[in-house]
Structure 1
Amino acid sequence: MAEHQRVPSRRRKLLRVAACGSAALVVLGAGAAGYAYLRLDGNIKSVDIDARLGTARPPTATDGSFNLLVLGSDSRAGGNAELAGGDTGGTARSDTAMVLHVNQDHSRADVVSIPRDTLVPRPDCTDPQGRTVPGAKRAMFNSAYEAGGAACAVKTVEQLSGLRMDHYVEVDFAGFARLVDAIGGATVTTTVAIHDKDSGLDLAPGEHHLDGKQALAFVRTRHGVGDGSDLGRIELQKQMVRSLLKQVGGIGLMSNPVKLWSVGDTLTRSITTDSALASVNSLVGLAEQLKGIGPDQLSLVTLPVAAAPGDPDRVVEQQPAADRLWAALKADQPVPPSVVADQPPNPAEATPTAPAKAPTAGAKAPATASAKAPATAPATAPGTAPAERG
């Protein structure tokens, strides 16, 4: 009789041990998830754009569409100096600016790149220290960030486009390189050799899988390909955006928790956002809104520009094309076909003037091809600044 009573007792003990173990795993798992959430949340740097700009702004769209301003800073602070080289005197400018417009059902997006050398009216701004920075009737677009930080860049874009920038995201050189490495690199194709001593890029014609440092050089290069203008560099940046979207879509983040954590940690350490976007929940919500948009649902164009009167190294909006572009986005319509048809050529996809000479049997192919891209514009093409800064 006593033996029959001991068996259930042992079973109950085993069940209690199993239950306690399961509870401990749940608690540990919840604790790890909580730590991860706090870690990622704490990584994000933010700027309160809304408080700085007040209410004198374009209205927010009510149809579900929204706009996001993506800025690339040329700051040399921290690890940026080692990657970028050069000296900016302790200042930073927004040498890459892309307006991302997502349509009302979040099935398509249009990206407008604003050349850094575009001369624009810069509004009065308040800098990060709260000091008033007087506006200018004619200033280089990228000087807005230098004069008044991210809020001034947002205000300048809103004045230029008539669109409300619902969110802003900024990444610097080191952050971009880290992000590319975190997702496993980026693949680009060039039909011509690219050799740029300033950016350090050295590519033979063909397809290349780039790491973060190489990808950064690719999106920064100007002098090693095409006519050396900023318009050509923007075309390289568009190619990189498409490549990164394809890479992210192909690595299966949601099925690989370790990779997801690595990318999430790198992403949150690499960006600065507006305060409304500065949380893991908000970033995940944004990712949900964008998840249906891949390279095929993305249109990338450059703001129509022309050489500035009296200054061939600067550009101004080309009218009426620029106004038609902004009006289309404001009405949540696709980029006008006339704007798409008049886009600058991609210097990395130019047709070589002569075919590369085939190596003889047993000979080693050269590191770079001798064929060069034809000039897509005169030596003083619009946007060809006399000095490289970013």
Structure 2
Amino acid sequence: MSAQSTPDPGIPGETGTTSSRRGTTAKGHRRKPPTGRRRALTATVWTAAGIVVLGGTGAGYVYFKLNDNLKTVDINQALGTDRPVKVDNGSENILVLGSDSRSGGNKKLGGGADDGSARSDTAMIVHVYEGHKKASVVSIPRDTLVDRPECTDAQGGAHRAAHNVMFNESYGTGGAACAVKTVESITGLRMDHYLEVDFSGFQKLIDDLGGVQVTTTRAIHDPNSHLNLGAGTHTLDGQQALGLVRTRHGVGDGSDLGRIQLQQAFVKALVNQVRQVGLFTSPKKLYDLADTATKAVTTDSDLGSVNSLVSFAGGLKGIGASQMRMVTMPVQYDTADANRVVVDESKAKQVWNALKADLPIPASATEGTATGEAKDVVNSS
């Protein structure tokens, strides 16, 4: 991708919606299919930021229109100074979350009642190495049992610590700030930035891109996520893409871990797709993509302007799918509850130590851990 400035297309396009962040409690390994609540994706706000670069910022109305789309959370103020020390080695850590919302456009997409609940459906730590030529991405299973630290949300509300609770409850309890606090507590890594995307924003983003091409190595049929794909190459529209990254009963062992493997494969396909956008799109389409992307994301306050987001995304433009290593945080199935997983502490320590030192994640860190058995079901084309 390359940053480029495009003229004001003259047709701002008031498309897209913003959605509140709501969610569901995750189901786990070998669980019966959920009857109502659905899963969302974060895959990938990183790519959404890249679209802002491709769309350009322009001047005058276009700039202010895109700038006004952005939603921000002041993570630094909420968390204060009780955080891991920033390692000054040229690397960056970005927590990317996908929110599972139960209201607005997300209620229609996700089904179920507008019940006031909220969960982070997908969590990925993106570690960008010094020089910004490669990255490691570590997915955190939502069903992981963790000790949630005491935290303060962005509105100043205090939340007590909790023992042995699901990871995604941290977002449901105290929003973005508590999610970041929990991730930093688990990993010992400071999150330099926070990015979030929601249900409806993701679906519209894929549609605006013209779909994303993937290849399925075998058929995937899951009525719970409304997905029906035969083996072969497909260009997925927004609804199909959402179904793919939500499905867990159509592949593997039916766990969240298998769904993560599908999400990681889709993210790579999406990154490849976005890197080609500037080659064939008109200024109007580029503007529409940037408009959708900025409406879809919530960022930390340091990225809370188009200029900041463009600068950040520009630093990622050299990283394609082949320069990304994607793994799942080392976990094992909980012996007391097959619907949950627990952190494999010794192997997870290898991951966090490697990232802290800005080194590649060793292969030994993920050997012998729970996988979900959905690897290579989906490949980018």
Structure 1 pair 253–164 and aligned structure 2 pair: CA distance change class (3 A): farther
Q: Distance in 1 between matches of 2:86 and 2:361?
A: 20
Q: For 1:295 and 1:341, locate their aligned partners in 2 and report how far apart those are by CA, in whole Å.
A: 22
Does 1:121 find its partner at 2:157? no
1:283 corresponds to 2:340: no
Structure 1 window deviating more from structure 2 (84-93 vs 37-46): it is 84-93
SS at match of 1:58: coil
Aligned-residue offset at 1:128: 4.2
Equivalent residue in structure 1 for 2:354, among 325, 328, 346: 328
1:259 paired to 2:318? no
* C-alpha contact 1:178 1:212 (8 A) present in aligned 2: yes
Higher CA-based Rg: 1
Root mean square deviation, CA, Å: 2.2
Query: Measured at CA, do residues 141 and 260 of structure 1 come closer, stay the same or move farther in structure 2, by a change above 3 Å?
Result: same
Q: Does 1:180 align with 2:206?
A: yes
Match of 1:137 in 2: 163
Task: Count residues with an aligned counterpart.
Answer: 324
SS at match of 1:151: helix
The answer for the alignment partner of 1:337 in structure 2 is 363
1:54 lines up with 2:87 in the alignment: no
Output one character per residue of 1:10-54: Cα deviation in whole Å (capped at 9) or x when no partner.
xxxxxxxxxxxxxxx99x9xx972100000000000111000000
Question: 1:154 corresponds to which letter in structure 2?
Answer: V
Matches of 2:173 and 2:223 in 1, distance apart? 30
**Aligned partners of 2:70 and 2:305 also within 8 Å:** yes
1:349 counterpart = 2:376:
yes
User: Deviation at 1:318?
Assistant: 1.0
Q: Structure 1 residues 295, 162: closer, same or farther in 2, change over 3 A?
A: same
Equivalent residue, structure 2, for 1:228: 254
Q: Return closer, same or farther for 1:315/1:286 CA change in 2, 3 Å cut-off.
A: same
- Distance change in 2, residues 1:154/1:253 (3 Å): farther
Output aligned runs, 1:39-78, within 5 Å.
Answer: 39-78=65-104
Identity within the alignment, % = 55
Asked if the contact 1:190/1:348 (under 8 Å) is kept, the reply is: no
For the 8 Å contact 1:70–1:168, the answer to whether it is kept is yes
Instruction: Report what 1:384 is aligned to.
Output: none
1:374 matched residue in structure 2: none
Give me the whole-angstrom Cα distance separating, in 2, the residues matched to 1:294 and 1:32: 25
Q: Which amino acid aligns with 1:329?
A: L
1:88 CA displacement: 6.3
- Secondary structure in structure 2 of the residue aligned to 1:260: helix
In 1, Cα distance between the equivalents of 2:377 and 2:154?
43
* Match of residue 36 from structure 2: none
Distance 1:197 1:314, change over 3 A: same
SS in 2 for 1:273: strand
Mapping for residues 148-227 of structure 1, pairs under 5 Å: 148-227=174-253
Whole-angstrom CA distance in 1 between matches of 2:221 and 2:280: 38
CA distance in 1 between partners of 2:86 and 2:279 (Å): 32
SS in 1 for 2:200: helix
C-alpha deviation, 1:61, in angstroms: 2.4
Contact 2:66–2:306 under 8 Å retained in 1: yes
Mapping of residues 297-308 of structure 1, within 5 Å: 297-308=323-334
CA distance in 2, matches of 1:301, 1:348: 11
Aligned to 1:332, the other structure's residue is in SS state coil
| Contact 1:73/1:96 (<8 A) preserved | yes
**Matches of 2:217 and 2:148, distance apart in 1:** 39
- Find the aligned partners of 2:348 and 2:97 in 1 and give their Cα distance: 20
How far, CA to CA, are the matches of 1:178 and 1:187 in structure 2? 16
- Which of 27, 33, 36 is 2:62 aligned to? 36
Structure 1 counterpart SS, 2:351: helix
Q: Which one has the bigger helix percentage?
A: 1
Q: Deviations over 1:352-381 (max 9, x none)?
A: xxxxxxxxxxxxxxxxxxxxxxxxxxxxxx
CA distance in 2 between counterparts of 1:246 and 1:291 reads 11
One-letter amino acid of the counterpart of residue 220, structure 2: I
Unpaired stretches in structure 2, ≥5 consecutive residues: 1-6, 11-56
Where 1:152 maps in the other structure, the secondary structure is helix
CA deviations on 1:87-127 (whole Å, 9 max, x unpaired) are: 36211100100000000111110000000000111011223
Distance 2:279 2:300 in 1: 25
Per the TM alignment, residue 254 of structure 1 is displaced from its structure 2 partner at its CA by 9.1
Residue 30 of structure 2 corresponds to: none
Q: Which amino acid in the other structure matches residue 350 of structure 2? A: R
Q: What SS class does the counterpart of residue 175 from structure 1 fall into? A: helix
Q: Give a deviation string over 1:337-361, Cα, whole Å, max 9, x none.
A: 123555726627359xxxxxxxxxx
Query: What residue number does 2:54 align with?
Result: none
The offset of 1:60, in angstroms, is 1.6
Letter in 2 for 1:291: K
Match for residue 87 of structure 1? 113
Task: Give TM-score scaled by structure 2 length.
Answer: 0.81
Deviations 1:58-94 (A, max 9, x none): 1122121010000011112210011111236211100
Secondary structure at 1:334 match in 2: coil
Output one character per residue of 1:157-190: Cα deviation in whole Å (capped at 9) or x when no partner: 0010111111001111101111111222111221
Q: Tell me how far apart the structure 2 counterparts of residues 65 and 32 of structure 1 sit (CA, whole Å).
A: 29
Distance (whole Å) between structure 1 residues aligned to residue 269 and residue 340 of structure 2:
29
Deviations 1:238-274 (A, max 9, x none): 0110010110112226974223211111100000010
- Residue deviations 1:199-235, cap 9 Å, x none? 1011111111101111011000011222111000000
Deviation (angstroms), 1:303: 0.5
Q: Give deviations 1:129-155, integer Å, cap 9, x for gaps.
A: 422111112110000000000000000
